[in-house]
Amino acid sequence: MKKWKPAPERWVAAFATASKGLGEPRKMFGYSAAFANGNMFAALHEAGLVLRLPEKEREAFLHQEGARRFEPMPGRVMREYVVAPEALADEKAALRGWVTKACRYASSLPAKPVRKAKKSSAPKRRA
Protein backbone atom coordinates (compact mmCIF):
# COMPACT_ATOMS: atom_id res chain seq x y z
CA MET A 1 0.00 0.00 0.00
CA LYS A 2 1.22 3.49 -0.86
CA LYS A 3 2.48 5.69 1.97
CA TRP A 4 0.82 9.09 1.72
CA LYS A 5 2.69 12.35 2.10
CA PRO A 6 1.67 14.94 4.72
CA ALA A 7 -1.10 17.36 3.80
CA PRO A 8 0.09 20.67 2.36
CA GLU A 9 0.80 23.17 5.18
CA ARG A 10 -1.43 25.87 3.72
CA TRP A 11 -4.36 23.46 3.91
CA VAL A 12 -3.61 22.41 7.50
CA ALA A 13 -4.14 25.99 8.73
CA ALA A 14 -7.07 26.68 6.39
CA PHE A 15 -8.83 23.45 7.42
CA ALA A 16 -8.39 24.17 11.13
CA THR A 17 -10.01 27.58 10.74
CA ALA A 18 -12.77 26.55 8.32
CA SER A 19 -13.88 23.48 10.30
CA LYS A 20 -13.68 25.03 13.79
CA GLY A 21 -16.91 24.31 15.67
CA LEU A 22 -18.32 22.09 12.93
CA GLY A 23 -18.77 18.38 13.57
CA GLU A 24 -16.41 16.15 15.47
CA PRO A 25 -12.69 16.38 14.78
CA ARG A 26 -10.92 13.03 14.30
CA LYS A 27 -8.01 11.52 12.44
CA MET A 28 -8.49 9.46 9.28
CA PHE A 29 -5.43 7.67 7.90
CA GLY A 30 -3.27 10.05 9.95
CA TYR A 31 -4.88 13.18 8.51
CA SER A 32 -7.16 15.64 10.33
CA ALA A 33 -10.81 15.10 9.45
CA ALA A 34 -14.26 16.25 10.55
CA PHE A 35 -17.32 14.04 11.04
CA ALA A 36 -21.05 14.57 11.62
CA ASN A 37 -23.20 11.62 12.76
CA GLY A 38 -20.20 9.39 12.13
CA ASN A 39 -20.01 10.51 8.49
CA MET A 40 -16.85 12.23 7.28
CA PHE A 41 -17.54 15.55 5.57
CA ALA A 42 -14.10 17.15 5.29
CA ALA A 43 -10.53 15.95 5.60
CA LEU A 44 -6.97 16.72 4.76
CA HIS A 45 -5.02 14.52 2.36
CA GLU A 46 -1.79 14.80 0.41
CA ALA A 47 -4.02 16.06 -2.42
CA GLY A 48 -5.18 18.99 -0.25
CA LEU A 49 -8.61 19.53 1.29
CA VAL A 50 -11.28 16.95 0.54
CA LEU A 51 -15.00 17.72 0.94
CA ARG A 52 -18.08 15.51 0.78
CA LEU A 53 -20.92 17.28 -0.99
CA PRO A 54 -24.37 16.35 -2.30
CA GLU A 55 -24.71 16.05 -6.07
CA LYS A 56 -26.05 19.54 -6.86
CA GLU A 57 -23.45 21.35 -4.77
CA ARG A 58 -20.69 18.97 -5.89
CA GLU A 59 -21.36 19.81 -9.54
CA ALA A 60 -21.30 23.55 -8.76
CA PHE A 61 -18.06 23.10 -6.80
CA LEU A 62 -16.40 21.30 -9.69
CA HIS A 63 -16.95 24.36 -11.93
CA GLN A 64 -14.25 26.19 -9.94
CA GLU A 65 -10.87 26.25 -11.64
CA GLY A 66 -8.63 23.61 -10.06
CA ALA A 67 -11.42 21.68 -8.31
CA ARG A 68 -11.54 17.97 -9.09
CA ARG A 69 -13.03 14.68 -7.98
CA PHE A 70 -11.15 12.92 -5.20
CA GLU A 71 -9.18 9.93 -6.46
CA PRO A 72 -6.96 8.69 -3.59
CA MET A 73 -5.60 5.88 -5.76
CA PRO A 74 -5.57 5.67 -9.57
CA GLY A 75 -8.94 4.42 -10.77
CA ARG A 76 -10.54 4.75 -7.30
CA VAL A 77 -12.70 7.87 -7.48
CA MET A 78 -14.65 8.47 -4.28
CA ARG A 79 -18.10 9.28 -5.62
CA GLU A 80 -19.23 12.10 -3.29
CA TYR A 81 -15.84 13.65 -2.56
CA VAL A 82 -14.04 16.54 -4.24
CA VAL A 83 -10.63 18.17 -3.81
CA ALA A 84 -10.69 21.93 -3.22
CA PRO A 85 -8.81 24.17 -5.63
CA GLU A 86 -5.62 25.77 -4.23
CA ALA A 87 -7.08 29.30 -4.44
CA LEU A 88 -9.82 28.39 -1.95
CA ALA A 89 -7.24 28.04 0.85
CA ASP A 90 -6.90 31.85 0.84
CA GLU A 91 -10.65 32.59 0.66
CA LYS A 92 -11.67 32.08 4.30
CA ALA A 93 -15.36 33.00 3.98
CA ALA A 94 -15.89 30.93 0.82
CA LEU A 95 -14.02 27.97 2.31
CA ARG A 96 -16.07 28.14 5.52
CA GLY A 97 -19.22 28.17 3.36
CA TRP A 98 -18.22 25.00 1.51
CA VAL A 99 -17.18 23.21 4.70
CA THR A 100 -20.51 24.20 6.28
CA LYS A 101 -22.40 22.79 3.27
CA ALA A 102 -20.42 19.56 3.58
CA CYS A 103 -21.21 19.37 7.30
CA ARG A 104 -24.90 19.96 6.64
CA TYR A 105 -24.88 17.17 4.07
CA ALA A 106 -23.15 14.68 6.37
CA SER A 107 -25.57 15.61 9.15
CA SER A 108 -28.51 14.75 6.86
CA LEU A 109 -27.21 11.21 6.23
CA PRO A 110 -28.17 8.28 8.46
CA ALA A 111 -25.94 8.13 11.51
CA LYS A 112 -23.25 5.48 11.39
CA PRO A 113 -23.38 3.06 14.32
CA VAL A 114 -20.65 3.47 16.90
CA ARG A 115 -18.19 0.60 16.64
CA LYS A 116 -17.05 -1.11 19.78
CA ALA A 117 -13.34 -1.69 20.14
CA LYS A 118 -12.35 -5.21 19.16
CA LYS A 119 -11.04 -7.38 21.93
CA SER A 120 -7.66 -8.85 21.26
CA SER A 121 -7.62 -12.61 20.77
CA ALA A 122 -3.97 -12.74 21.79
CA PRO A 123 -3.32 -14.30 25.20
CA LYS A 124 -2.56 -11.81 27.96
CA ARG A 125 1.00 -11.71 29.21
CA ARG A 126 1.64 -12.31 32.84
CA ALA A 127 4.06 -10.07 34.67
Domains and CATH numbers, the chain: 9-108 (3.30.1460)
Provide the percentage of residues in the chain whose pLDDT is more than 70: 90
Nearest CA to 37 out of 107, 125, 96 is that of 107
Averaged pLDDT, 13-34: 94
If pLDDT is split at 50, 70 and 90, which confidence band does 126 have? low
| Chain center to CA of 109 | 15
What value does the mean pLDDT take over residues 65-83?
Answer: 93
Residue 127 confidence (pLDDT) above 60? no
Around 45, how many Cα atoms within 13 Å sit in the side-chain half-sphere?
16
Q: Exposed/middle/buried for 20, CB within 10 Å: 0-12, 13-18, 19+?
A: exposed
- Tell me the sheet residues that pair with 45: 48
d(CA 111, CA 127): 42
Instruction: State yes or no: pLDDT of 50 exceeds 60.
Output: yes
Residue 26 one-letter amino acid: R
